[in-house]
Structure 1
Amino acid sequence: MSLSSTMPAPRIAAGSPEFTRSNRALFFGGFSAFALLYSVQPLMPLLSHEFALSAAQSSMVLSVSTGALAVSLVASSALSERLGRKPLMVAAMAISALLTILCAFAHSYPQLLAMRALLGIALGGMPAIAMAYLGEEIEPTSLGLSMGLYISGSAFGGMAGRVITSVLSDHFSWRLAMGTVGVAGVLAAWEFWRSLPVSRHFVPHGGGWRALPAGFKVHLTDPGMPWLFALAFLLMGSFVSLYNYIAYRLLGAPFGLSQSLVGAVSFLYLLGIYSSVWAGRLADRFGRRHVLWVVMTIMLGGLLLTLSNWLPLILAGVAMFTYGFFATHSVASSWVGRRATTAKSLASALYLFFYYLGSSVVGSATGVMWGRDGWPGVVMVLGVALLLALLVALKLRGLAPLAAAER
């Protein structure tokens, strides 16, 4: 047996052709996941009007998807330990895109909710497994950059999905808008399949479901992981809530903006494309524990600016909030990948379980505050959530690293 056949394959490092291919594929993966999942967000006021719904009821079109996604993440992580990373991610993207196309033909709101729930279940095969793939295949000193690029794809997808549905629904119908986003998802799935390198460090585990209890114990008893999971819940819940209800505020008095202009607010997601990569590089250089709490304060400052009644200041606040969110998510998610020494896909699944659970729970609960107290009520709830998140980030500064490489 030759020496080369016994040596493990090198991990993918920044600057290599494989690094470019993997980042291109995962960029499309992040784009597809966020575009398909969040393209309904600017349509909520239209659905409220068409189906005679309150803001909280209309928010269920998103919350039912994120809730189903949260539940399916753990099952998908177990399946990926048997089937492999790439096949399950490709299937998740393709099925989710087709379900989005079917949403355009829904005859009633309950039928639309059912389709969106199925979409959430199918999409569970993408986010956590993508994080696990990066943790397994990317060289550790390049992981922050690679995770940042993946999240920048998420930012671009969130922006593109919202803008497409806003403009098309304003000039045509929300059904055409949903169908168009679904077709874009099919094309993204094809490019993902074509570009992503096959796994070289994935080892199938036949334990599957039987290994879950041990994996849960490892991650939930770790002194740092549960706090990172709590951050995911608080931060994503806050982010989704702001974008859920800022549309209602800007469509109403005294602003009276059109659906297309409100959708154009989603161009601020482009800031996330930069901030996620920027924060990933900072984390690789200075350590996650020293960067996380700093970028989180940007979110809180932006939230407070949205209390203004001057539109430019509101938009500046949303921009700061968006910039800070994607930077924070980039740092926290890469920290999970670095800290997980075993059951990596389950660690990613748990992080994203709380991430999407926060989107579902906080996103809908904040709708009640919008109906009762308007925008100040929304800001009050989100301000409390962000202050709690900041306390968690400060606590994580004192977390003992598992190894010298984890900072």
Structure 2
Amino acid sequence: MDFTLGSADTEWRDRVRAFMDEKVRPRVADYEAQQRDGERWKVLPVVEDLKTQARAEGLWNLFMPPSHGATPVDASFTFDGPGLSNLQYAVCAEEMGRILWASEAFNCSAPDTGNMEVINRYGTREQKDEWLKPLMDGEIRSAFLMTEPDVASSDATNIQCRIEKRGNGYVVNGRKWWSSGAGDPRAKVAILMGKTDPGAEKHKQQSMLLMPLDAPGVTIERHLPVFGYDDAPHGHMEIRLDNVELPGSAMLLGEGRGFEIAQGRLGPGRIHHCMRTIGAAEEALDLMVKRLMSRTAFGKTIAEQGVWEERVANARIDIEMTRLLCLKAADMMDRAGNKAAQGEIAMIKVAAPLMALKVIDDAIQAHGAAGVSADTGLAHAYASIRTLRLADGPDEVHRRAIARLEYKKHR
């Protein structure tokens, strides 16, 4: 088996890596200073500046698949990205993942990536012109409203938010939470999942709508911190929906097809998270090694203590194994399609966060008290990646899917 990346793969990766090293990393202090200054829920000039530079260099919408034939109103604008495969994007996303907020500079951050893919794949021409174009231009941001506080949302058939047909439009009532991205002042639209027909077959009850976040009846009730981090200006919100009226044109694909859309959205989104997570683990390992080699205890560097040699070696082994599984999943998606790769996608979704959390935890330990402070970024990385064991389906759901694929082989 040949694990060597082709020239096209390394070209994109190296361009992203160079932009990260030369443009993004030197601005980390600016980002942190701007976050601390003034109110939390604001647009950060440093990110907007980096977005302009990345777009000028063609490092923009790298995740975006080819469009599905819709012609935009503006003939000079196409809905295509640069045409990277999942495998090519994987090595780019790993580079972006080394700094938690960096993917936004390339217009490649969640939940916008998944939302853009949904609108690109399932949206009408009018929906694309209204929402996909400004999203791809980086002018607005978006949210994804699926999870609910009163049900086990890991089973999407439990969703209770009600979408009722009224005349030529729809009325939405319900409550959503962990609506990531809804705190950003640039967030203008949400993809919302709810039930249009509770009496239909179990997987045909759900539908998805495009909902403007400033529609009457949409109320952000509270912000939900993650281990005390507010993740501003992105944020995770609890949202109440009271008689929100939407036109019929807001429906995506058709009534009863929400579950189908969800499955199409979550496959690529799950692996995008994993790609970035491998980058975060690499960053933590770099920080850990530098710390171990720079500090002395009991007459020798900490790096020379046997326990740390074992931890560093295990970190490298685990990162390499996880990367190979991630690249295998991406390659299968390219060659055989997302459905054929469902087992590999589920496996990497379980493996990548667990691996990264172990590496980051060891890096925190190597830094001592500094590791749990805000100085190194490790504590924030740990908090962010811990959520990935829940986001886009908890580990238990993915393990269930993996086990069922194994059972199927022996039936």
| TM-score past 0.5 threshold | no
Q: What TM-score do you get using the length of structure 1 for normalisation?
A: 0.33
Q: When you count strand as a share of all residues, which structure comes out higher? A: 2
Q: Radius of gyration: which is bigger? A: 2
Higher relative contact order (CA 8 A, sep 6+): 1
Q: What TM-score do you get using the length of structure 2 for normalisation?
A: 0.33
